[in-house]
Structure 1
């Protein structure tokens, strides 16, 4: 395990755990944390021993968004955070968000960029861009409607009111709702299950879902058929009976 003042990382059985570690600032992203997390995710992408990543925050928050001390100025390099968030879906490997507390604005965008979200009962979610007079450039207006539907996305984006974890589960923003002490064990168990499968197959299946969800139904069916045909042509299709 490696630890520094901003980001802690653990490795085990193909699973990388990354913990945003600025608890006094509710894990808000400043320039240094942005760079550290970008580098850690690049290492995750390039190192074949890591198959799945879990992203969480040091208690009491997941991520409060951008640290306005670093990014409030008109000329601040907010594009670097946008690049970080857009990097996550393109890593070629699954990333699970384990949201243990507040996931606000840029923190919500970071969670939305992950493949799916598990939430502790204490988790809260909000988009406050309109409240601070800003407009998102990091996926709030695109990924949030895909997750919860356009009507609920409008409610979150226009009213800027936080929703609790139970509401997030109900509207489809999160996959599972867990007691705080079960959040990371569940995330690690799911990551371990994914890591135990063929990485090439996981990459293809993930790509089919990502490409298909951004397409019409007819396009999605064609994408799935194309992926299956490619897999068959590679001679990699096989059905294996494994113990439950």
Structure 2
């Protein structure tokens, strides 16, 4: 039985479902290999324009499977490489968080372009509780998403937050009933996939790079991207579009 379901849910939209429900979709070596291969396919094959990542209920992803990764010589650097690769795939990924997104699972969701959550979603960073320090971006991506003060609360207390709190602090874009989460995530991903993939890639680059710097530098990045797009002769307007 596969630990990762990969399917074309709609035209150009890859749906990845972590499928170790008895282990709350914790990442072991088999799931790590499957995710790595799936993301490589997503990046390398032109058919894929957007993706949705979710977990088989009752969880999104509980982080690393400690039976696999608690040993001193466990290949934790491979998990770090996987999580850090997600924001650099050049194609949009929606995290559909349907349950617990803890520690490495939260890091994976943070690496996606944005998060949609079900009412059952829970988010937590438990690194401090297990005596570990993140190497996959928790200390940078979480405060970037929710602000330094709330990131401190989550990282230092290890207490989970619910979906309503995640929406309030900006971690989640929307909260939906469980049965509407995947349909809505696929709807948004399908809307993204309908657009020019080169334009989406450039827009994503502008957003990603601009969010990492000052406002002045972000404006310069956007202006440079627009100039290059015009130089390529790729700017076009749909009839009747607002100008």
| Aligned with 1:111 (options 102, 109, 112) | 109
- Given candidates 16, 19, 22, the residue that maps to 1:21 is 19
Q: Secondary structure at the match of 2:129?
A: coil
Q: Show the counterpart of 2:3.
A: 6
For 1:18 and 1:176, the matched residues in 2 are separated by 20
CA–CA distance in 2 between the matches of 1:136 and 1:97?
20
Partner of 2:148: 150
What are the superposed Cα offsets for residues 165-200 of structure 1, whole Å, 9 maximum, x if unpaired?
A: 000000000101000000000001001100000000
Q: 1:223 corresponds to which residue?
A: 221
Q: What SS is found at the alignment partner of 1:62? A: strand
Which residue matches 1:123? 121
Distance in 1 (CA, whole Å) between partners of 2:25 and 2:45 is 26
- Greater shift after overlay, 159-168 or 229-238? 229-238
Instruction: Report deviation, 1:87.
Output: 1.0
* RMSD value, Cα: 0.9
For 1:241 and 1:21, the matched residues in 2 are separated by: 45
CA distance in structure 1 between the partners assigned to 2:239 and 2:154 by the alignment = 45
| Partner of residue 97, structure 1 | 95
- Indicate the residue corresponding to 2:70 in structure 1: 72
The whole-number CA distance in structure 2 between the counterparts of 1:173 and 1:242 is 35
Unaligned runs of 5+ in 2: none
Deviations 1:224-243 (A, max 9, x none): 00001001111111111379
1:167 equivalent in alignment to 2:161: no
Deviations 1:28-59 (A, max 9, x none): 00011001100001001111011001000000
CA distance in 2, matches of 1:142, 1:71: 23
- Equivalent position of 1:198 in the other structure: 196
Secondary structure of the 2:117 match is strand
Structure 1 residue 74 displacement after superposition: 1.5
* Cα distance in structure 2, aligned partners of 1:70 and 1:123: 25
1:207 match? 205
TM-score (norm 1): 0.97
